[in-house]
Amino acid sequence: MAPPPSSTISRVITLLLKIVMFTLLLASLVVLVTDTATISVDLFPDSTVHFDDIYTYRYVLASIIIGLVYSLLQTAFSLYHIATGNRLIAGDGAFVFDFYGDKAISYMVATGSAAGFGATKDLKALADAAKLDLDDYFDKAYASASLLLIAFFCAATLSVFSSYALPKMVN
């Protein structure tokens, strides 16, 4: 039995990367939206802090959601392409869409992760200086940003693959 053609292997690898990326983004979303903490200060009643009280985490959320939508769309396109052998977008437009889409999403996911790490580091330093025990809150924020960073590596790899595929298909 002859081995499958390299284009089939490439399609399967990109599909797996898209599924892993989607799973990481979904996990990052769940961790981020469940991130809450209660602050107790002597003179004031207990206050609950949610992730969306911090504007930077709203940007992280937006980058996750946009990445999820794109990843789901690309996964569906890949499944269709593997199942039928045809691309959903006719002509060379699919390769151009993959090329620019992968670049844009990888940058968005990377900046979302970086923003999450930066905000968490700065806010944790402020909370520690104020002697507030918010370690669990910031640990979840770090976990969400870490999952987002790993999703970026998947997106960057997909971006490289689409860079290689474009010159072969577009003449």
| CA–CA dist 75, 65 (Å, integer) | 15
Question: 93-129 vs 55-84: helix axis angle to the nearest 10?
Answer: 150
Which position has the token pair 């990445």?
67
Q: Residues of the chain with pLDDT > 90: what percent?
A: 63
Decide if 23 contacts 71 (C-beta within 8 A): no
Q: 111 in a domain, yes or no?
A: yes
Q: 41 in a domain, yes or no?
A: no
Q: 43 in a domain, yes or no?
A: no
Q: 40 in a domain, yes or no?
A: no
Average pLDDT for residues 72-92, to the nearest whole number?
A: 81
Number of neighbours of residue 18 by Cβ within 10 angstroms: 24
pLDDT tops 90 at residue 171:
no
Q: 109 in a domain, yes or no?
A: yes
Average pLDDT for residues 62-87, to the nearest whole number?
A: 90
Radius of gyration of the chain (CA): 20
Q: Which domain holds residue 163?
A: 6-35+48-169
Q: 69 in a domain, yes or no?
A: yes
Q: Which two tokens stand for residue 53?
A: 């009280």
Average pLDDT for residues 117-128, to the nearest whole number?
A: 96
Q: 25 in a domain, yes or no?
A: yes
Q: Residues of the chain with pLDDT > 70: what percent?
A: 89
Query: Which range is most confident: 40-44, 121-125, 166-170?
Result: 121-125
Confidence (pLDDT) at 2: 47
Q: 113 in a domain, yes or no?
A: yes
pLDDT tops 90 at residue 43:
no
Decide if 61 contacts 32 (C-beta within 8 A): yes
pLDDT tops 60 at residue 13:
yes
CA dihedral (15, 160, 120, 54) in degrees, to 10, reads -70
pLDDT in tens, 142-165: 999 999 999 999 999 999 988 887
- Domain count along the chain: 1
Task: Decide: pTM greater than 0.85.
Answer: yes
Confidence (pLDDT) at 74: 92
> pLDDT band for position 27 (50/70/90)?
very high
Average pLDDT for residues 94-117, to the nearest whole number?
A: 94
Question: Residues 6 or more apart from 84 whose CB is under 8 A from it?
Answer: none
